[in-house]
Structures are given as C-alpha cells and as structure tokens.
Amino acid sequence: MQAFSPISNHDLRDEIKAYWSLRAETFDTQPGHEIFSEDERAAWHALLRKHLGNGEGRAALDLACGTAVVSHLLDDLGFKVTGLDWSEPMLERARAKAVTRGRKIRFLVGDAERTMEPDASYDVITNRHLVWTLVDPLACFREWHRALKPGGKLLVVDGDFVNTSKLTRLLKRLTQLGARLGLAKDALHGAPNPDMADTHNRILSAVYFSEGARADAVAAHRKEAGFAKVTVDADMAAIHRSQRKNFSLLKGLERATQHRYAICAEK
C-alpha cells in the first residue's frame, strides 16, 4: 500500500514539471541520459528492435521525450516519431538536436498522463524513466492503451531506485566516498546540487511508486489497464556495459546492480 502524501496532485505535478525544466540545461551532459558512444546507440537499437521491430514508417509516440534521446533512436529505426514533453526547455533542446541531425521528428508540448492524442493513433508508445514519477499509473496506462492502435505496443524502460540491494547500497557509499576523494566525480549524477537533490527526494516521496517501481508491480498495472502479452525484460547488460565507459568505475558498477528493466505490452 502506498503512503499518503500531503502534497496535492496539482502541486506535485507542477513541481515535477519545474524540476525537469531545470534539469534540461545539463541533461545531455550526463551519461545514462544522452548517448555517448556508437556501442551504446547499438545496444539501445537492439533493445528497441527486440520488442518493437523495425519502424517501416509506423507511428511512434515518445512520451516525456525530454531532449529526444529515445525519439532519435526510434527515428533511426524508421519510425515516424512524435516526441511529447511538458517542459519547454527540454523541447527547445530536442528541436535543436533534430535540426542539427537533419531529422523530421514532430514535437508537441503536452502531458504524458493526458496526451490529448486521438484514439488508436499510434503503433508504438515509448517512455524512459517516466513511470516512477507518475501520480496515477493505472490511469496513465489506460490513457496510453486508448492512444494505441489494436496490436500496438507500449514499451517502458524504467527501474526501481528505492529498493536497492545491499551490494548497490555498498557501491553507492563507496562512490560517494570516491567523490569526496576526487575519484568519482559522477557520484551526484542524479542530483546536480543539494537543492535539486532535496527536490528530487520530495517528489519521490509523494509519487505513487514512492516505495519503488518494481517491474512486477508495473506489469500488473499494465494488465489491469487492458494490455495483453506483457513481457518483462531485465536484460539491460549490453546497455550497462556500453555506458560504463563513461562512468567512473564505482558509478558504473553501482548502476549495473540496480533493478532496471524494459516492459513491453500489446494492445
């Protein structure tokens, strides 16, 4: 059972929007957000192709697209991509990136929890690191189910960053120690400064998955929302290996031990 939060949904959603708007400035400088090698790009392509196949002009909606990292991966595979995000600073960077790369990706300002897109309008819907922020995940999954065509697929990439293993907690402490010694400057990768860290923790304490977005719980919500053929894929090893080259040793090991997954569900 989820803990009650005194923060209203309206206030919480506003805070989430403001938080990610502030994070936009440095988002693409951080490994794990932007892609920094062709090996990592290939690993992401393999994951997307495994669950979604090649695009072949099919319509894809990338929710909470941020600076459009996943949108570009989908575009690489031949999808006709729409990226949706409610943060204008994120979308400014997404549009600039598409211009620089010569990509025809459509970007919309919108709320991933209430897309306002027509019924049965997409073959594929994706999001990365969105589910843990949701206020009402069941309502969101129903919304995304509505926007998918029959036979369409929803692919979520996320993780549980609350219920960590003893090994992960040990590595995190070692990483923080390494940061103080100047050996792991990326230790605060998820929290650029103390104020932002406080905001992040306050948001995490108030969202639905405040106790952790475990893959089985997220998959159960998908089934309740009407999805069929729900597949949990915890094999993120190729992506973690490629990302490790851009992390300090300790940070890379910590990340590889986290509960990260991809869940694909079909309408």
For the chain, give every domain's residue range. 9-161+212-245+259-266
* Beta carbons of 62 and 112 less than 8 angstroms apart: no
Q: What is the pLDDT of residue 166?
A: 65
List of residues 6+ apart from 157 with CB closer than 8 A: 47, 70, 126, 127, 128, 129, 260, 261, 262
List of residues 6+ apart from 80 with CB closer than 8 A: 55, 57, 58, 59, 60
Q: What is the pLDDT of residue 178?
A: 63
Q: What is the pLDDT of residue 4?
A: 40
Q: Which residue has the tokens 């309502």?
A: 139
Residues β-bridged to residue 124: 60, 153
- In degrees and rounded to multiples of 5, residue 167 shows phi and psi of -65, -45
- pLDDT-flagged residues of the chain (< 50): 1-7, 187-191
Classified by CATH at the fold level, domain 9-161+212-245+259-266 comes out as Rossmann fold (3.40.50)
pLDDT digits 0-9 by tens, 190-244: 445 667 778 777 887 888 998 889 999 999 999 999 999 999 999 999 998 898 8
The alpha carbon dihedral of 6, 157, 87, 163 has a sign of positive
* Beta carbons of 11 and 18 less than 8 angstroms apart: no
Q: State how far the Cα of 134 lies from the Cα of 9, in Å rounded to an integer.
A: 10
Q: What is the pLDDT of residue 2?
A: 46
Q: What is the pLDDT of residue 110?
A: 95
Q: State how far the Cα of 217 lies from the Cα of 58, in Å rounded to an integer.
A: 29
Q: What is the pLDDT of residue 3?
A: 43
Q: What is the pLDDT of residue 89?
A: 95
Q: What is the pLDDT of residue 172?
A: 64
